[in-house]
Chain A
Amino acid sequence: MSNKFYIVPLFLTIFSIIIIGISLQLDTSPEMIVGDSMQARSFPIFLMVLKLILIAVLTFQYKAKNPDAIKLEKFPTWGSMGLFLIFYLLTVYTDMFIGIFVVMLLMGLLWGEKRIWLSFLTATLTPLLIFLLFDFVLKIRFPRGILMDLYYG
């Protein structure tokens, strides 16, 4: 059996252990406040221990069933995930609409769109239509950023 099977259980185990570690760092409250309830750290630890037990079961299932080989995803999938990170950074440090424009443009190109003008047009019109619909029609305000600061003042 390929070692790739253990990637998912291993990743989940590391995640659960990290969460237990962080939970153990949480403050504890005096008994008189907690009363019949439980400490803030207890429930996440309980969940992660339960998760570790299920991960062990999952690993044994993999071993017993010996499923087909796991195929790691190709570049467009990893690239798309990377673009979400870029979207987050652009939204936090510049503006959400700049983030939508850049990510839509790059995702079109990443997915093999040869007509750059079409990607550019879609990336421009989509945030514009979102802005018009939400701001003018539904009167919902957007988070502040470079462009929104200019607009809202």
Chain B
Amino acid sequence: MFEQGLTAMLSVATDPYLLFLIFVTTILGVVIGVLPGLGATTGAALLLPFTLTMDPVHAIAVLATIYVSATFAGSITAILINTPGTSAAAATTFDGYPLAQKGEAGRALGVAVISSTVGGIFSVIILCFAAPLLARVAYEFRSPEYFALTVFGLSMLASISAGGAVKNLIGGIFGVWLSTIGAERVTGIERFMFGNYELYEGIHFVPIFIGLFAISELLVQSKTVNKIVNTVSMKAVKLPTKEDYKKIWKTILRSCGIGTFIGVLPAEGATVASMIGYSEARRWSKKQRRIW
């Protein structure tokens, strides 16, 4: 049984046409991921019509590749211009951009590439061997557990950035208030819409992210007008050195576990996983405030 599965997997993995499709889709996914406003889901939706005529294995490979590569590519803009291309890369801005400002953008991108690759492979291996068990765990996750996870997520605000716990919590409350805009789900009463029916379903995640990151970065840059500043420059992506691996392997392993666990839960996703992963990395870091 195991041998049969392994043989089938190898025959798929060595299919030249499949490898070509994965290569092309990866490039497309990176392009989509770096464009703020277009994310992994949009990428998959754009490619869906092309996959309808494909062999099922090829179609699934294309959709999985676009999703994974677009999610990773969000960290490219997060590191280089402090604006996450996808919401999942928001946590990357916290340390990635300061590292880029120090002239180490290539190193930051290298770490992002390796971490994403290890995380992806780890989750696939876990999925292969423990999918039924994980599905049962996800099925047992009910409202009290989701509530606990949400409270845990919000409580992380107290420690997630250097702005101070009170300021972070005020920001968090403002964020939760933003989610109340639109029609209330139980009663249908319109809240804070002021007659604008485009707000009926609330404010989507992407405009909020672009507003918070891109516009705030633009305003920060506006303060540097007429000043000599070091611009972010990068010659090439620099893969982590031995010393880097020594520093980050525990963080990568911990984040692999967190990402896989959060990933199997319905309604949670890469954004929640990356935020919890970042918070845990900070908590375990000897420097506390910054991982690097």
User: Is A105 interfacial (CB 8 A cutoff)?
Assistant: no
* A contact patch SS: helix
Chain B: minimal CB distance from A23 (Å):
8
Looking at the complex, which one of B173, B186, B225 makes contact with A50 (CB distance below 8 Å)?
Answer: B173
B271 contacts across to A, CB distance below 8 A = none
Count chain A CB atoms within 10 A of each CB in B174, B184, B215 and give the residue with the most: B184
Structural contact, B176 and A47, CB atoms closer than 8 A: yes
Q: Roughly how many angstroms separate A39 CA and B180 CA in the complex, as a whole number?
A: 12
Q: In which size bucket is the chain B interface?
A: 20 to 34
Chain B: minimal CB distance from A5 (Å):
13
Structural contact, B222 and A76, CB atoms closer than 8 A: yes
A76 contacts across to B, CB distance below 8 A = 222-223, 225
A33 contacts across to B, CB distance below 8 A = 186-187
Structural contact, B187 and A77, CB atoms closer than 8 A: no
Which segment of A54-62, A93-101, A118-126, A145-153 sits at the interface?
A54-62
Which segment of B11-19, B162-170, B241-249, B254-262 sits at the interface?
B162-170
A19 contacts across to B, CB distance below 8 A = 177, 192
Give the interface of B toward A (CB within 8 A): 38, 46, 164, 166-167, 169-170, 173-174, 176-177, 180, 184, 186-187, 189, 191-192, 215, 218-219, 222-223, 225-226
Q: List 10 A-B contacts (CB under 8 A).
A: A19-B177, A37-B187, A41-B191, A50-B173, A61-B164, A79-B222, A81-B219, A111-B222, A112-B226, A138-B38
